[in-house]
């Protein structure tokens, strides 16, 4: 789900490298905010506030979402 | 043409179809997908634009999401809009001066946006009265800078109070509350603007969206995003409506279907006695009719396109109890078995309004799709399944964003009806008989302050009968009106069928012994009646009295004004080579004697008295 939301938010497909990337240039803060918004809308959850400002990589984001939805 | 489009289903749509979806939606995912496609297909999408404009966004907060959707919103009303986001929180820094960046940009529009935090003193210590005074001063000063320093038109978002009032239920009664401060700031800004600033009423949008959800505080604290992301399309759409109204791009004619659109049932099945507007379901149709009547009062021309026997239609309007619209409220009725696109085209021809001035409203998705496929510049509204949703389907459509009525607007719809009647009459007789039979009377006057609104409307909206297509804002006209080097005259025309109101304008710039016709235009409802000759004669008479001996006219071709390419030669002007730009053609007319101006005049229009051209004075 997170990966498909990412693809929608950025208009790009996601590969293994991106999951672990710490490169903040991978997506800008606006895309990040929209990504969080999409995840919240789709799953009907509210992620912790620090997710909005944090620069987690995709892998960490997936983990956060998993714990917010009780799947962690 | 459905309300359930998803981002994935947009991929196959052509741009006109996609823009119809956008106009009817505020879904963020759909808007973002369409906006992304617009960035990729700028050239193809640009075909749907009728105007270009540049807008600079100056705000005290993050505007990225908004700015990203604005070009799409603008394109949905026919504007190819270049949006420039200025760094946020730099309003004074950018506008006082103004900054080199802004000067280089020379935007047509400057959009100012703030939040309640900018105008309400933090904590309880502040003096509310002083806060209102200061905020009105600050924001109107910014608007003034943008307008005077950059020559830009200013769009101000109104302020929205937060929903965190310590006084809660009592807040509205207390003049120190956020609610009260914010509403006084908005009112103060409107009063200061005196008509020169355009407003996006965010308070109304917030109320509609739900004030409690309008802002997501987490997004505010994290990235200074003032409005919930899901509400941003609504805000962008409302902004586009403001631009459309200002640029004269709002649709001017609403064409409605009849069966199951204006009333419950189908004439073809139930007969004229079998359709109706009673009961709870009927009440929704009545409400919709009243809404259309409201649009008509604001100057929207109403027309009918219906697949029905034309003889039965008038009977329904006459006999069915509870109908709010009368048959005579429609300036043109097309009924029969031709495809709707053919009916729409006929309406456009009879009313002499372009297809890009039309909105078709129909409950049948297939009819809407047929019209859109054949006539992509027509906006089509497919009504939702139940009549209770009809008003909502039109409300806030950006193509229907009307400007506030000027006094002449009220007569406009009636005048279009008269035009259609005249059009039918002219079929049989000669043009001269037709013109003489109209018994036209015209009044030419010097442009006065009370006519500025209408004059600005004519100058910004007239495309077909417009020799040079020059656009002046109300403020510019006001300055020229007081400039002794300019002669500006307006023409009001009436005939035995209707009073058309102020429908013509001529502007001459006097330079020594030459007067150049800078602008000559007629509203399309009075084209083909020789009224332009009365304006030319009046302008020539005034130019003679100002010492001019040569009248110079220029034709600047545009996509829409071929109609007037031969105007000057036909009036007796001599060709005088190219104008100031490559495409333009110049013409000259020598004012050899005091009577020369009268040579330009028309025999078909009587003088209606005061302020007349005064050829008899010569």
Find the residue in A nearest to B32 (Cα). A9
Q: Is B608 exposed, middle or buried (0-12, 13-18, 19+ CB in 10 A)?
A: middle
Distance CA B343, CA B360 (A): 11
Q: Provide φ and ψ at B414, rounded to 5°.
A: -60, -40
Q: Which residues contact B346 (CB under 8 A, 6 or more apart)?
A: B334
Residue among A5, A12, A27, A30 with most chain B CBs within 10 A, to mutate: A30
Q: What is the pLDDT of residue B408?
A: 57
Are A30 and B64 within 8 A, CB to CB? yes
Residue among A4, A31, A52 with most chain B CBs within 10 A, to mutate: A52
The 3-class SS string of A7-35 reads HHHHCCCCCHHHHHCCCHHHCCHHHHHHH
B67-92: b or e for each residue (b if 16 or more CB lie within 10 Å)?
A: bbbbbbbbbbbbbbbbbebbebeebe
DSSP H or E segment with residue B256? strand B253-256
* E strands in B461-533: 486-494, 499-511, 514-522
Report the DSSP beta bridge partners of residue B303: B255, B332
Find the residue in A nearest to B223 (Cα). A53
C-beta atoms surrounding B166 within 10 Å: 10
A69 Cα to chain B: minimum distance (Å): 19
DSSP H or E segment with residue B65? helix B64-75
C-beta atoms surrounding B616 within 10 Å: 9
Are A8 and B29 within 8 A, CB to CB? yes
Tokens of B360: 């078709």
Return the sign of the alpha-carbon dihedral for residues B533, B534, B539, B543.
positive
Contact indicator for A50, A64 with CB cutoff of 8 Å: no
Q: Select from B32, B223, B230 the Cβ nearest to the Cβ of A29.
A: B223
A45 Cα to chain B: minimum distance (Å): 14
Regions of chain B with pLDDT less than 50? 1-4, 407, 428, 611-618
Q: Which residues contact B23 (CB under 8 A, 6 or more apart)?
A: B76, B237, B379, B397, B398, B399
Tokens of B549: 């001996």
Q: Which residues contact B359 (CB under 8 A, 6 or more apart)?
A: B251, B253, B254, B255, B378, B379, B380, B381, B397, B399, B400
| Strand B574-578 to B499-511 pairing | unpaired
Calculate the alpha carbon distances from A28 to A20, B345, B348 in Å. Answer: 16, 48, 48
With CA atoms as reference, report the closest residue to B361 among B397, B319, B338, B394.
Answer: B394
Distance CA B250, CA B229 (A): 27
Residues in B 13-42 with any Cβ partner in A closer than 8 A: 29, 32-33, 36
Interface A–B counts its CB contacts (< 8 A) at: 30
Residue A58 pLDDT greater than 90, yes or no: no
Q: Select from B7, B222, B229 the Cβ nearest to the Cβ of A49.
A: B222
Q: What is the pLDDT of residue B525?
A: 77
Q: Which residues of B touch A48 (CB under 8 A)?
A: none
Q: Which residues of A touch B64 (CB under 8 A)?
A: 30
Q: What is the pLDDT of residue B589?
A: 92
Distance CA B252, CA B301 (A): 6
Q: Which residues contact B147 (CB under 8 A, 6 or more apart)?
A: B110, B153, B154, B196, B197, B475
Q: Which residues of B touch A38 (CB under 8 A)?
A: 29
Are A34 and B221 within 8 A, CB to CB? no
Distance CA B10, CA B8 (A): 5
Report the DSSP beta bridge partners of residue B58: B112
B210 Cα to chain A: minimum distance (Å): 17
Are B222 and A30 within 8 A, CB to CB? no
pTM assigned to the model:
0.70
Q: What is the pLDDT of residue B7?
A: 66
Return the sign of the alpha-carbon dihedral for residues B261, B264, B265, B268.
negative
Are A33 and B229 within 8 A, CB to CB? yes
Q: Which residues of B touch A56 (CB under 8 A)?
A: none
Residue listed under structure tokens 């110079």: B552
Contact indicator for B344, B309 with CB cutoff of 8 Å: no
Q: What is the pLDDT of residue B103?
A: 93
In chain A, how long is the greatest CA-to-CA distance? 30
Distance CA B66, CA B235 (A): 8
Report the complex ipTM: 0.77
C-beta atoms surrounding B265 within 10 Å: 18
Tokens of B541: 């008479």
Tokens of A14: 């996601």
Distance CA B65, CA B227 (A): 10
Q: What is the pLDDT of residue A30?
A: 75
B113 Cα to chain A: minimum distance (Å): 19
Distance CA B285, CA B586 (A): 55
Residues in A 30-49 with any Cβ partner in B closer than 8 A: 30, 33-34, 37-38, 41, 46, 49
Q: Which residues of B touch A53 (CB under 8 A)?
A: 222-223
With CA atoms as reference, report the closest residue to B316 among B298, B331, B340, B335.
Answer: B335
C-alpha angle B438/B443/B444, rounded to 5°? 130
Residue A14 pLDDT greater than 60, yes or no: no
C-beta atoms surrounding B55 within 10 Å: 25
Query: With an 8 Å Cβ cutoff, is B215 touching chain A?
Result: no
Would you state the torsion angle of the CA atoms of residues B195, B409, B74, B521, taken in this order, to the nearest 10 degrees? Answer: -90
Q: Given its phi and psi angles, is residue B89 left (phi above 0), alpha (psi -120 to 50 degrees) or beta?
A: left
Q: Provide φ and ψ at B348, rounded to 5°.
A: -60, -40
Q: Which residues of B touch A29 (CB under 8 A)?
A: 223
3-state secondary structure of B343: helix
Return the sign of the alpha-carbon dihedral for residues B224, B230, B232, B234.
negative
Distance CA B80, CA B182 (A): 33
Q: Which residues of B touch A30 (CB under 8 A)?
A: 64-65, 68
Q: Which residues contact B44 (CB under 8 A, 6 or more apart)?
A: B15
Return the sign of the alpha-carbon dihedral for residues B281, B282, B284, B285.
positive
Residue listed under structure tokens 């009036």: B571
Residue among B6, B41, B62, B64 with most chain A CBs within 10 A, to mutate: B64
Q: Where are the alpha helices (DSSP H) in B76-127?
A: 91-95, 100-105, 116-119
A64 Cα to chain B: minimum distance (Å): 17
Q: Given its phi and psi angles, is residue B80 left (phi above 0), alpha (psi -120 to 50 degrees) or beta?
A: beta
Rounded average pLDDT over A10-24: 54
Q: Which residues contact B186 (CB under 8 A, 6 or more apart)?
A: B158, B159, B203
Q: Given its phi and psi angles, is residue A19 left (phi above 0), alpha (psi -120 to 50 degrees) or beta?
A: alpha
Q: Which residues of B touch A11 (CB under 8 A)?
A: 36
3-state secondary structure of B579: coil
Contact indicator for B295, B402 with CB cutoff of 8 Å: yes
């Amino acid at each position: 789900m997170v990966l498909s939301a990412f693809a929608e938010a950025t208009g790009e497909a996601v590969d293994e490298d991106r999951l672990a990337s710490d490169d903040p240039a991978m997506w800008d803060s606006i895309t990040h905010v929209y990504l969080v918004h999409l995840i919240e809308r789709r799953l009907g959850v509210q992620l912790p506030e620090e997710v909005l400002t944090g620069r987690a990589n995709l892998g960490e984001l997936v983990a956060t979402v998993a714990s917010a939805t009780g799947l962690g | 043409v459905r309300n359930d489009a998803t981002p994935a289903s947009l991929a196959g749509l052509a741009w006109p179809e996609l823009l119809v979806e956008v106009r009817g939606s505020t879904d963020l995912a759909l808007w973002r997908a369409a906006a992304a496609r617009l960035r990729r297909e700028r050239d193809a999408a640009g075909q749907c634009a009728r105007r270009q404009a540049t807008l600079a966004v100056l705000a005290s907060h993050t505007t990225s999401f908004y700015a990203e959707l604005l070009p799409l919103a603008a394109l949905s009303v026919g504007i190819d809009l270049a949006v420039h986001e200025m760094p946020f929180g730099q309003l004074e820094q950018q506008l006082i001066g103004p900054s080199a960046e802004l000067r280089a940009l020379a935007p047509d529009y400057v959009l100012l946006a703030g939040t309640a935090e900018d105008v309400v003193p933090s904590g309880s210590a502040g003096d509310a009265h002083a806060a209102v005074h200061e905020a009105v001063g600050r924001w109107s000063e910014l608007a003034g800078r943008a307008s005077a320093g950059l020559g830009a038109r200013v769009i101000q978002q109104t302020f929205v109070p937060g929903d965190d009032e310590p006084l809660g239920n009592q807040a509205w009664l207390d003049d120190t509350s956020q609610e009260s401060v914010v509403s006084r700031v908005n009112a103060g800004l409107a009063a200061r603007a005196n008509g020169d600033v355009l407003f996006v009423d965010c308070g109304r949008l917030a109320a509609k969206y739900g004030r409690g959800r309008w802002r997501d505080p987490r997004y505010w604290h994290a990235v200074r995003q003032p409005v919930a992301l899901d509400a941003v399309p609504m805000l962008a759409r409302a902004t586009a409506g403001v631009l459309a109204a200002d640029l004269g791009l709002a649709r001017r004619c609403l064409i409605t279907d009849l069966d199951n659109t204006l009333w419950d049932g189908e004439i073809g099945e139930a007969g004229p006695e079998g359709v109706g507007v009673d009961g709870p379901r009927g009440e929704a149709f009545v409400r919709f009719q009243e809404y259309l009547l409201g649009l008509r009062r604001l100057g929207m021309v109403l027309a009918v396109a219906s697949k029905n026997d034309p003889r039965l239609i008038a009977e329904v309007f006459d006999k069915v109890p509870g109908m709010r619209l009368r048959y005579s409220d429609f300036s043109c009725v097309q009924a029969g078995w031709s495809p709707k696109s053919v009916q729409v085209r006929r309406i456009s021809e009879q009313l002499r309004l372009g297809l890009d001035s039309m909105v078709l409203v129909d409950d049948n998705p297939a009819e809407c799709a047929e019209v859109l496929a054949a006539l992509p510049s027509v906006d089509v509204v497919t009504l939702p399944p139940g009549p209770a949703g009809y008003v909502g389907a039109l409300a806030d459509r950006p193509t229907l964003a009307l400007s506030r009525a000027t006094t002449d607007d009220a007569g406009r719809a009636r005048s279009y009806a008269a035009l259609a009647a005249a059009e039918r009459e002219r079929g049989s007789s000669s043009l001269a008989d037709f013109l003489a039979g109209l018994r036209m009377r015209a009044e030419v006057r010097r442009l006065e302050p009370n006519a500025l609104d209408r004059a600005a409307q004519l100058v910004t909206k007239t495309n077909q009968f417009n020799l040079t297509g020059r656009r002046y804002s109300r403020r510019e006209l006001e300055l020229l009106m007081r400039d002794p080097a300019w002669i500006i005259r307006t023409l009001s025309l009436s005939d035995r069928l209707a009073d058309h109101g102020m429908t013509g304008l001529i502007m001459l710039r006097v330079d020594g012994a030459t007067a150049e016709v800078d602008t000559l235009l007629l509203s399309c409802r009075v084209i083909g009646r020789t009224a332009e000759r009365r304006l030319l004669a009046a302008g020539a008479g005034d130019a003679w009295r100002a010492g001019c001996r040569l009248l110079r006219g220029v034709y600047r071709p545009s996509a829409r004004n071929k109609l007037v390419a031969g105007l000057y030669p036909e009036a007796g002007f001599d060709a005088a080579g190219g104008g100031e730009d490559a495409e333009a053609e110049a013409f000259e007319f020598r004012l050899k004697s005091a009577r020369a101006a009268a040579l330009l005049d028309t025999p078909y229009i009587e003088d209606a008295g005061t302020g007349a051209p005064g050829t008899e004075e010569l």
